[in-house]
Structures are given as structure tokens and as C-alpha cells.
Amino acid sequence: MNAPLQHTKWRLGIDAGGTFTDFVIADRHTGAVKLFKALSTHSDPTKAIENGLKLIADDFGISAAEIVSNCDLCINGTTVGLNALITHRGGKTGLICTAGHEDSIEIRNGHKEDGFRYDPDYPAATMLVPRYLRKGVRERVISDGSIRTPMVEEDVRAACRLFLAEGVETVAISFVWSVLDNTHELRAAAIVREMMPDVIVTVGSELYPQIREYTRTSTSVVNAYLAPVMRRYVNAVDSYFRSLGARQPVRYFQSNGGLAIGQVMTARPVYAINSGPASAPQAGLYVCAPFGKTNVITVDMGGTSFDITLTKDGQTNLNKNIDFLRYRIGVPMIQVETLGAGGGSIGWIDSLGILQVGPQSAGSEPGPACYGRGGVEPTTSDANLVLGYLNPKGLLDGEVPLDVAAARTAIAIIAEPMGLTVEQAAYGMYRIVNSNMVNGIRRVSVERGYDPRDFVLVGAGGATAAHITALAREMAIDTIILPKLASGLCAFGQIISDVKYNDMATIPVRLDNAVACSRLNALYADLEARGIARLASDGFDAETIGIKRSLDMRYVGQVHECTVDIPRFDINASSIERVKDAFHRRHEELYTYAERHNAVEVINIEATLFGRIEKPGQQTLAPGAAVETALKGHRNAIFAASGVGLETPIYDGSKLGAGSTIAGPAIIEEVTTTIVIEPDWTATLHASGSYVITRHKEA
């Protein structure tokens, strides 16, 4: 990026979650970071941003306009797209496809998603485009890229007339083999824009130019479905920040782990689906850097959900071609395992009389019973309050008061039918929600061939710290790194991230001749030139642009391919062996074997381009006074199923400094999170601002 504005002081990151919207503002020069929280406002997400900026302005003693105009970047991670997909509140969508393929999004790959393939009772996914709004067009491109049937333009016009009559807001266009010749798609798009100038158009071969018709069509439909929602949101946010004097366009966090301007997010809203949690791995690596750790499992427990990401050797896993919320999405996304386990997760008794927790959540409206906003059902937060983990005087330094009596009344709803005390039922909820989260951690680690004992566990999210030692104990992880900014770690991850774009193409070719080399070189050159031009128009120069290459490869005759990363080099008759060797090694990593005697083919290629943004400075904590000076008192806290508590010391985290060491059982109260240190664990505050929590060897 061009040299940062010299008169700017700060960088602002905003992460909108299910319960709270987090704000992290960092001094660009000193690295001093402050965290603020405002309740999320789902009816109008921009209202939460306005409320959060008021909190910052009041704390700094200046106006919100002065804050924003003195930021070099304002970055927004949002759940707007995700929520629209979960609740099926996207735009009214039409699909234009090759005649005869109107039902491909229902036929899918011939089966339901993994885990339910053979379950006849599992209902079909809700279609984002109803059958009557899927219109076939007579046209056909075949697998060699030639046109067998020219497009009948009247079919497109007839579809537009129907869409106009039905009030369609957004249109997806996806033709068979358009990735090899997209002239039909582009002409259809031109007709739609001519007849329906107010609609948003998604062209499949531009959004996801890779082989697999079902994946491309489904990705295009999801993108189109979310486009009106994201356009309204981005326009509102951009307009609001412009009114406050923002000197740079707002950047939005993408599911691929990078930033993009609003114009990109409205054109490619499918990249916004996992916008919030996708920044966690970058933040996790950042807080682990002072300790030389590059194997990181980052867990983020908020009010509604629990998100898990895994980074091995500094590289975070990416997903492509996955079923997300039952819809196939092809574009790359940070691999995030999400489950319904948060502070608002509701405890209930199933038909067998067994206690369950989640995935239903009280969210922020009405919220847990202890919040006093109308919630009456027992939640994880209510359980944590009854167990003595949370300060009965309230959260956020008392700004969110907590009602212990209301929490106990709610927990009694499940305690009485099971013949338990309120304390025993609360601990049962605590154990069950922990078990749910541990199962999620196993899915991203053990089930994918990783030993969790080789990783450190990084805590993010406001509710995680109350559960972190229990989770690590269950996973046999000995080291936890919990930053003071844990409850806003995703917002912090945004302000240390780069702009990122993925450019893709299809090139089915066997790696056994010179023609393959020249085609790969030419296509990579084209993709990278396109990406460089986009970044240059976005203010980046050659010195700040980075490029990574990958290929989707398989042995000839295989059905599925795997993604292989390669360095940038000229691909020729000798260097092609490097590409093959990279594939053999990757195949062996994934499947334990390689067939080096077999022919190899490429299906798709991808160039990932980064626009590197200058990072804020890093703050160093001063050494602390004696730990006793931070002791606030003692509270009865429960660490066993008996429901019998221990007199537990409570520490004020703001009074601890570098080197402060606290042995469990103990509770450390930071302004935006509460850290529960179980017996047999010890926490030491590092100068980088993170607690390093380790398990006693004898334990």
C-alpha cells in the first residue's frame, strides 16, 4: 500500500458477533491497544458500530468523527452474510442455467452432504432459488470448449420478463462448461442488465472459474442470494464512515483470511460468509510469535457459537468445495469448525431425560437470564455465574450487571426434574458444553491426522477464558496462550491482516509435455497480472505485493483432486518435476501413499495475491508489582461435580504486570473476560500481553 497517512494515529478493527460487537483500536506507532464492546443490534448492525464508536470517543475524550478521521484504516468483520444464510433472509433470487440443468442444485452430487448421505429421514436442504425461478436457456458448450448449440437469446429475455413480474432482486447465471468459453454467460448477463438494470448479476465463470458445474452453480446462487443484503450493509457502513471523515475506504474481512474494499464484498459476498472467525488464525499466530510457536489451535467462544481453527507450521488450513450450512461453496475459505456452544447456549432435557446444552442460544436478545433482559431459560453464562466463575457485580467492569437470583431460578428448571442441586446442574451444564467443544477440537485435529498435543491452545472470545483450562486438560494440551485481548482477538486479527484476493482458472492438462508447461506459465501470468492490477488500483506498489501459487491435481483416473502449493518459478521441462513431486508429497500427507509411477494431471490453478499493509507497533508490558497487590478478595467457586465449592482467590488483571505468576485454583478478572484457572494449572503474564497457562507436570 502507498505510504500510510502520516498524520493518522490509529487503526480500528470491528468484529460483529452474535452477542457483542468488538472494537479494537491500536496506536499505529506505539502499539498500545484498547478493546471496547457494544451489544450487537441485529435489526440494524450499523447501530452497534455507532454505539461502539461512542464508547471509544467517550473514553478518549474526543468525537467519533475525530477518531475515524485519524485512523489509517477502519476494518469490519461482519456476520451479516452468515446470518442471512442461516435464517434464509437473502434476496429474492433467479437462476439462469443451461436448459436441462434447472435441478442441478437439488440433485447436487447425487447424495446429501457427508454425515447424512444414507439417512432417508434427513430432510432436503431448503433451496435458495425456488423451482419456478430457475430458467433454462437453450445453449451448450462442450468439454473441449467448443460451442455445440448457440445461445437462444429469447430464452434469456423470457426469463427476465418472469423475474421482473416476480420481483426478483438478484440473478445468478451458470452455464455448463462456461469455464472454457464464457461468451454465452457474458451475453446473458448483458441482456439481464439491459432488461433489469436494478438487479445484481452474478456470473458463475467470473466468480468461480473452475470445473464442476454443480459447485459453480451453487456458489453462484449463494453469492447472488447474499448480494442484496451485503450491498445494503456495505452501503450503510461506507456512508456512515464517510460522514465521519474516513480518509480511506472501509476494509471488510473476507472468509479467505484477507481484507477487501466494499465494492469487492458487494460483488463477491460469498467471501463474507465466515468474515468474523476467519481472522482468528492470523491473531493466534501473532500472539504466539514471541514464543516461537507455529502449531496453533485457536478457539473462540462468544455468546452464540464456538469457532475452531488449526494452523500447522504457520499455515492455516483452507477449505474449498465444501458444504457450508448445507450449500456447496467452491471458493477458498479459512477452515473454521463452528458449533452452537456459547455463553448464551441453552440447557435443556431431551426426551430420554438427558441434559443437553445448545445449539439453541439466547443470543443478545433476550440474552441469558442473568442479564435481566427478559431471558428465562438456563444458559452457559447462568451456569458460570452460579459456579462462581463470573463476578456477581457484572461484566465489562460492572457495565452489564448480573442477576444471580435469576440465574439460579433458570438453572432450577433443569435441576429439579433431575433431582440435582442448582450447583450440580450448573456444573453438569459446564461439563457438557465443554464436551461439545472438545469434540469440535477433535474434528479439526485428531480426525484430520493432527496430534493436538503438538499444538498450543490459543483462547479468543469473551467466554472462552472461563473454559480454557478444562478444554486443554481434556485434549491433553499442556500450554495455553491467552492474550489480554482474548475477547476481541478476531477484531485484533483484522488490524494485522493484509488485503487478499484469489484468482482462479481451469486448465485440465496432463503434466507430460511441453505444451502443458507453456499453458500453465501463460495462465499464471494472466491471473497474476490481473491481481496485480487490482491491487495497484487499490493503492499498492510492487514492493508491497506478494503472490502464492497453488494447483488442484490428481492422478489420471482419480475422481477427486487435492490442492498443492508451489513456489513461483518458470515451469519448463525440468522444473515440471518439482510440481509433480510436490503433488506426490501432498498426496502422501493426506492419504499415506503416493503413486510416483502414475501420470499426474492438473485440473485448476489459483494465484493468491496479497497487498501487505504496515502493521501497528507492538506494545510491551512493564513488570508488575507483587501479585498480592492485585488480589481483590475470594469467592466460592465450584470445580467438581459434587457442587461443593472452594474458596478461590480473585485477581484484578489490570493490576498484573509482566512476570506476574498465579497458581490455580484462581480467577483473574480482566475488563472484558474472566479467566478461570483450575487446580493444577499456573498462569504467568508475559511482556507481550498474553497469559501463558501451563499444566503442572505431575498432573
Q: Which domain holds residue 145?
A: 90-223
Answer yes or no: do 154 and 212 share one domain.
yes
Answer yes or no: do 209 and 99 share one domain.
yes
Domain count, the chain: 3
> Residue 274 pLDDT more than 90?
no
190: domain CATH number is 3.40.50
Say which range, 353-362, 390-399, 404-413, has the weakest mean pLDDT: 390-399
Inside any domain, residue 168: yes
Residue range 517-526: average pLDDT? 92
| Domain end call among 576, 611, 646 | 611
* One-letter identity of residue 359: P
Answer yes or no: do 17 and 113 share one domain.
no
User: Could you tell me the pTM of the whole model?
Assistant: 0.85
Better-predicted residue by pLDDT, 215 or 621: 215
Better-predicted residue by pLDDT, 457 or 371: 457
CA–CA separation, 662 and 676 (whole Å): 11
* DSSP state, residue 60: H
Burial of 107 (0-12, 13-18, 19+ CB in 10 A): exposed
Answer yes or no: do 136 and 181 share one domain.
yes
> Residue 215 pLDDT more than 50?
yes
Residue range 432-436: average pLDDT? 95
> Residue 237 pLDDT more than 70?
yes
Answer yes or no: do 97 and 55 share one domain.
no
When the pLDDT of each residue in the chain is averaged and rounded to a whole number, the result is: 91
Better-predicted residue by pLDDT, 110 or 298: 298
Inside any domain, residue 629: no
Answer yes or no: do 605 and 566 share one domain.
yes
Residues 71/191, Cβ–Cβ less than 8 Å: no
Specify the pLDDT at position 698: 64
Inside any domain, residue 564: yes
> Residue 346 pLDDT more than 60?
yes
> Residue 6 pLDDT more than 60?
no
Beta strands (DSSP E) in 461-578 are 479-483, 499-510, 545-555, 562-566
> Residue 4 pLDDT more than 70?
no
> Residue 379 pLDDT more than 50?
yes
Inside any domain, residue 464: no
Axis-axis angle for helices 80-87, 213-243 (nearest 10): 130
| Domain end call among 611, 643, 667 | 611
Inside any domain, residue 413: no
Better-predicted residue by pLDDT, 325 or 441: 441
Backbone angles phi and psi of 300, in degrees to 5: -130, 105
* DSSP state, residue 250: P
Inside any domain, residue 507: yes
User: In 3-state terms, what secondary structure has residue 348?
Assistant: strand
Answer yes or no: do 115 and 216 share one domain.
yes
> Residue 318 pLDDT more than 60?
yes
Highest mean pLDDT: which range of 170-184, 327-341, 497-511: 170-184
Sorted by sequence, the CB contacts under 8 Å of residue 195 that are 6+ apart come out as: 157, 160, 161, 164
Specify the pLDDT at position 302: 81
**Could you count the other beta carbons within 10 Å of the beta carbon of residue 303?**
26
- Which residue in the block uniquely carries the three cell numbers 481434556? 474
Q: How confident is residue 398, by pLDDT bands cut at 50, 70 and 90?
A: low
Q: How confident is residue 539, by pLDDT bands cut at 50, 70 and 90?
A: confident
Inside any domain, residue 25: yes
Inside any domain, residue 143: yes
Q: How confident is residue 642, by pLDDT bands cut at 50, 70 and 90?
A: very high
- In the chain, the N- to C-terminal Cα span, in Å, equals 50
Say which range, 163-167, 508-512, 525-529, 606-610, has the weakest mean pLDDT: 508-512
Q: Where are the alpha helices (DSSP H) in 8-99?
A: 45-60, 64-69, 80-87
> Residue 293 pLDDT more than 90?
yes
Say which range, 181-190, 481-490, 512-521, 647-656, has the weakest mean pLDDT: 512-521
What confidence tens digit (pLDDT) does each residue in 109-154 have?
888 887 788 888 888 889 999 999 999 999 999 999 999 999 999 9
CA–CA separation, 140 and 287 (whole Å): 53
> Residue 46 pLDDT more than 50?
yes
